[in-house]
């Protein structure tokens, strides 16, 4: 072949040796994780955490929240539109009221929504007191019980129901009843009011009544559970803030107008809520009798990753066995990104067992939770 032919063969052999060495080195750097799962860093001297193990259960590809997180949210309830107004009509009644054992009794009754009452006593024999009562259908109360002489009297009251004007009995004066000649004058209010109800759930910390007026003329009155929270003229938009102690479990908003006033618009109720989100992670895995028996000499393994730590602290790894008993409760430091924890036959039972990850004051996310058994 000559010198040139020998040189060619030599260099060919050297080239083949270099290519073979490169392939060997390249292949030694490749790691194929079973089932395609691997989130462990591979440095010098790295040993696969999966070697010699078979996967029996996994929850991968998603992040799962662990911990307790308090958030504030606002939920707006629309209560629809309202149309309220009020106007008064003057009513005048003139009559005599009396009361006596022999003569019976007579009184004046005025029905409607009455604010203030004007009485003119035009005559009396002074044998009894003049009595004014107000009955709203729920409560009947005595507004006046007093002997009155001739004159004009203004009786302050506000009642939606019946106002009755009478007199006490003349008692032992059997020859005559107690007697008053009365002229009563009152403004009867024709009122169109509106109401709506809403619940304040246990996590509601406050609420805002948001009123948007289409028309507003005069003076409005707004009540929560019969307590006045606004009574004045208004702008086109009004917000009434209510603390939690202003609210009950069930609440009623009532809107009405003062005499000569009218309002239209809509009401929204914004409920401010405190929400507590409690996150735990659970993964079930089934052990038949063969798998269970293998754990007598070969420990099982739990692997998972931790990320997005928003509050540092600890966590607890638990196993609830197939009989419903938590027999493994292992505190763990929240200081790593990847965890490998082992369990034995004493921690499980044949059937459906469950791995649980709970927070111990920390807030974080976990992913790639897997349970392995040794081959």
- What residues does 49 pair with on adjacent strands? none
Q: Which residues contact 325 (CB under 8 A, 6 or more apart)?
A: none
Per-residue pLDDT at 343 exceeds 50: yes
Per-residue pLDDT at 278 exceeds 90: no
- Give the chain's mean pLDDT: 86
The angle formed by the CA atoms of residues 303, 64 and 374, to the nearest 5 degrees, is 15
pLDDT at 310: 87
Q: Which residues contact 138 (CB under 8 A, 6 or more apart)?
A: none
pLDDT at 15: 63
Q: Tell me the pLDDT tens digit for each residue of 45-67.
A: 333 455 788 999 999 989 999 99
Q: How confident is the model at residue 11 (pLDDT cuts 50, 70, 90)?
A: low
**What would the two tokens of residue 95 be?**
């009559």
Per-residue pLDDT at 256 exceeds 70: yes
* Residue 7, SS3 per DSSP: helix
* Residue 169, SS3 per DSSP: coil
Residue 60 near residue 367 (C-beta atoms within 8 A): yes
Whole-number Å distance between alpha carbons of 41 and 48 = 10
CATH for 280-374, among 2.60.120.260, 2.10.10.100, 1.10.10.10, 2.160.10.10? 2.60.120.260
What is the reported pTM? 0.51
**CATH tag, 72-83+199-275:** 2.60.120
> Averaging pLDDT over each range in 184-193, 195-204, 269-278, which range is the top one?
195-204
Whole-number Å distance between alpha carbons of 265 and 210 = 10
Per-residue pLDDT at 216 exceeds 90: yes
**What would the two tokens of residue 199 be?**
């619940």
Per-residue pLDDT at 128 exceeds 80: yes
Range with lowest mean pLDDT among 15-24, 25-34, 303-312: 25-34
Whole-number Å distance between alpha carbons of 86 and 365 = 60
Whole-number Å distance between alpha carbons of 93 and 119 = 10
pLDDT at 71: 82
Q: First and final CA of the chain: distance in angstroms?
A: 58
Could you tell me the CA-to-CA distances from 324 to 181, 252, 336, 352, 353 in Å, in that order?
A: 87, 47, 30, 9, 8
Q: Where in the chain are all domains bearing CATH 2.60.120.1300?
A: 85-191
Per-residue pLDDT at 234 exceeds 70: yes
More confident call, 92 vs 32: 92
Whole-number Å distance between alpha carbons of 147 and 130 = 6
pLDDT at 164: 95
Q: Tell me the pLDDT tens digit for each residue of 173-189.
A: 989 999 999 999 998 88
Per-residue pLDDT at 114 exceeds 70: yes
pLDDT at 47: 38
pLDDT at 35: 30
pLDDT at 6: 59
Q: Where in the chain are all domains bearing CATH 2.60.120.260?
A: 280-374
CATH for 85-191, among 4.10.220.20, 3.40.1390.30, 3.40.630.30, 2.60.120.1300? 2.60.120.1300
Per-residue pLDDT at 271 exceeds 70: yes
pLDDT at 185: 94
């Amino acid at each position: 072949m000559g010198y040139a032919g020998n040189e060619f063969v030599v260099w060919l052999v050297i080239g083949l040796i270099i290519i073979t060495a490169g392939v060997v080195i390249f292949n030694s750097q490749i790691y194929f994780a079973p089932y395609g799962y691997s989130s462990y860093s591979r440095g010098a001297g790295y040993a696969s955490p999966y070697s010699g193990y078979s996967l029996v259960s996994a929850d991968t590809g998603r992040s799962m929240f662990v911990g307790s997180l308090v958030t504030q949210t606002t939920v707006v309830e629309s209560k629809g539109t309202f149309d309220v107004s009020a106007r008064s009509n003057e009513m005048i009644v003139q009559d005599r009221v009396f009361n006596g054992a022999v003569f019976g009794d007579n009184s004046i009754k005025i029905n409607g929504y009455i604010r203030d009452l004007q009485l003119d006593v035009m005559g009396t024999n002074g044998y009894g007191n003049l009595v004014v009562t107000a009955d709203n259908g729920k409560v009947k109360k005595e507004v006046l019980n007093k002997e009155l002489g001739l004159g004009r009297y203004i009786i302050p009251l506000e009642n939606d129901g019946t106002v009755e004007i009478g007199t006490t009995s003349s008692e032992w004066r059997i020859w005559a009843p107690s007697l008053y000649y009365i002229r009563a004058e009152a403004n009867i209010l024709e009122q169109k009011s509106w109401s709506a109800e809403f619940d304040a759930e246990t996590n509601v910390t406050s609420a805002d009544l948001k009123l948007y007026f289409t028309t507003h003329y005069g003076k409005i009155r707004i009540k929560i559970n019969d307590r006045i929270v606004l009574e004045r003229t208004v702008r086109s938009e009004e917000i009434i803030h209510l603390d939690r102690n202003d609210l009950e479990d069930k609440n009623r908003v009532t809107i009405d107008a003062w005499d000569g006033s009218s309002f239209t618009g809509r009401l929204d109720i914004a409920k401010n809520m405190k929400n507590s989100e409690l996150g735990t992670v659970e993964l079930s895995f089934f052990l038949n009798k063969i798998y269970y028996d293998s754990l007598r000499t070969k420990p099982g393994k739990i692997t998972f990753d931790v990320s997005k730590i928003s509050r540092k602290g600890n966590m607890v790894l638990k196993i609830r066995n197939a009989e419903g008993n938590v027999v493994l409760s292992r505190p763990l430091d929240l200081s790593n990104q990847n965890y490998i924890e082992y369990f034995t036959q004493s921690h499980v039972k044949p059937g459906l067992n469950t791995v649980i990850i709970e927070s111990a004051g920390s807030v974080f996310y976990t992913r790639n939770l897997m349970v392995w058994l040794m081959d």
